Structure 1
């Protein structure tokens, strides 16, 4: 089992510099059209042009007000749809996928994720699943056209709240493709705050074992819970996780050790933070017994 560090650009402050460091280590880069007030993909383009083998994942779903205006002017969204700031409408997904390619300077996107699809129809699973399926149809066409290599979903609460399961997503992708599909990844929060995926995986339940069985890439987002977690973890807990690590390193190692995780997304803007995280994922991974001990301590009142 291996889990690699990846650069997440949601909270990243110095995107071009961070991207160059990620490229030097061959790390994945994760972005979205609404990150950095809509500028993240444009800022990434030079690093991607200089490192053509670098893998990048992007998204479709959320958009900035300016992008919404462009979508209305292009005719892919109504003004009411644009006002929502989020859409999985097929016309929009098709348009945004092309826009992502242009902004990133890539003829083919490595990975396109539906961004928080649970936002589309809260409380209505049937309508939500239909919308996801329709968006998958668009992405399957993009794969067939050589514009996208694979697709998936990036969710915050959809899997935990059971708006959909990995099995249901795979079934929707199979329907969309009419057979062999190109659903290849899921992205979800995994941390010592959002421990449910870890606890479930240790018992062989939940989205991570299902993703492993299907051969999906699993990208763990928010491993430091937006930068808050290192301040919540004292050195005693860090030493319990693994001695001689900083609290931030201990948190990253715990996520990297979670069964099923293939990439740990970290918005490491500075070189010292990236180096610190890289040293953490280079450590021997924690055993299942150690992870159970950690989650047990954190779950205690």
Structure 2
């Protein structure tokens, strides 16, 4: 069993380190990937990425729609893409706003098309998240039809854990949005780590959102594999030895998430190039066997 590919997440990266880490992430041309959002780094992430991406244009990028910064809300209101009520809520997935944000994403990233756009944390929407997602999917399908977007997805923090979202319901919703099962919803993003382990544990038994997405042929992006950098400080040396005694604690925890069946890409925010190199080395190692992962997760669940 292969491990998941490594992708660069930009949520926690220091702006001063962005250029060097992106260059390092782009060196693995076979599976290079960068994940960002218009609200990351106080709304500067995409603009900061643009000049670096201009020098490494083939590197694909996923971005998002949903959360508003103060400047985004002001500009979208001015362009009549948002209502005042939507702007005040700070999160919007309306059809008009999604179209507006996709265009802005392209401008900020300096690209004429986007590789993948996630509807960002629909569980934060006011009211029924599926109604909000229906509007977003209609817009994203239109973007795909226009050739500006080959695929889209849903990124969530706890939507699957709480039962607010399910993969079958998302699949059905996308089919309804476009009028056929040949829709462009092709990915989910959710936290997968030894701490945020509900979907991880389910996947080991071929169940839950990761397994369901894999069955549909979707990409599964694992966010926060080190739980915001806290996991290496929480894991014990005994746990590390059980996973792989030749790795550091951070590498072992990362490899565990990358070994989850159905996960296709791990998104790591690594400001230090040395940390990125360590992550690349860890993911070149064969996947941790499922029985070992079960044992580790059982031990953690018992604590």
Q: Tell me if TM exceeds 0.5.
A: yes
> What does 1:152-231 correspond to in 2, within 5 Å?
152-179=153-180, 180-231=182-233
Pairwise CA distance, 1:78: 2.1
Q: Given the alignment of the two structures, is residue 19 of structure 1 paired with residue 22 of structure 2, yes or no?
A: yes
Give, in whole Å, the separation in 2 of the partners of 1:219 and 1:186: 6
Q: CA deviation at 1:235?
A: 1.7
Secondary structure of 1:260's counterpart equals coil
TM-score (norm 2): 0.96
Does the aligned pair in 2 maintain the 1:233–1:247 contact within 8 Å? yes
Mapped contact 1:23–1:47 kept (Cα < 8 A): no
| Structure 2 residue aligned with 1:138 | 139
Aligned counterpart, 1:101:
106
CA–CA distance in structure 2, aligned partners of residues 279 and 233 of structure 1: 20
Q: Tell me if the contact between 1:4 and 1:256 (Cα under 8 Å) persists in the aligned partners.
A: yes
Secondary structure of the 1:58 match is: strand
SS, match of residue 265 in structure 1: strand
CA-based RMSD of the aligned residues comes to 1.0
Would you say the 8 A contact 2:50–2:110 is kept in 1? yes
The answer as to whether partners of 2:64 and 2:117 remain within 8 angstroms in 1 is yes
3-state SS of 1:135 partner: helix
Separation in structure 1 between the aligned mates of residue 137 and residue 88 of structure 2, nearest angstrom = 23
Secondary structure at the aligned position of 1:186 is classed as: strand
Residues 235 and 246 in structure 1, CA contact (< 8 A), matched pair in contact too: no
Task: Tell me, yes or no, if the aligned pair for 1:111 and 1:151 is still in contact at 8 Å.
Answer: yes
Secondary structure (helix, strand or coil) at the match of 1:24 reads coil
Find 1:44's aligned residue among 29, 42, 49: 49
1:65 aligns with 2:70: yes
Q: Distance in 2 between matches of 1:2 and 1:240?
A: 18
- Residues 61, 116 of structure 2: 8 Å contact kept: yes
1:53 aligned to which of 32, 51, 58: 58
Please state whether the residue corresponding to 2:26 is helix, strand or coil.
helix
Query: 1:129 & 1:81 partners in 2: Cα distance?
Result: 17
Q: Who is 1:78 aligned against?
A: 83
TM-score (norm 1): 0.96
* Greater mean deviation of Cα atoms: 230-239 or 30-39: 230-239
Write the distance in 1 (CA, Å) between the matches of 2:173 and 2:85. Answer: 27
What residue ranges of structure 2 are gaps of 5+ in the alignment?
A: none
Which residue is equivalent to 2:298?
296
Select between 14-23 and 240-249 the one with higher mean Cα deviation.
14-23
In the alignment, is the contact (CA less than 8 A) between 2:186 and 2:219 conserved in 1? yes
In structure 1, C-alpha distance between the alignment counterparts of 2:272 and 2:189, rounded to whole Å: 24
Deviation of 1:209 (Å): 0.8
- Give runs of ≥4 in structure 1 deviating > 4 Å: none
2:265 is aligned to 263
What is the count of residue pairs matched by the alignment? Answer: 297
Give yes or no for contact 1:220–1:264 (8 Å, CA) kept in 2: yes
Kindly provide the CA deviation profile for residues 130-189 of structure 1, in whole angstroms up to 9, marking residues without a partner as x.
221121010000011111110001100111111120111011111111111001110000
Structure 1 gaps of 5+ residues are none
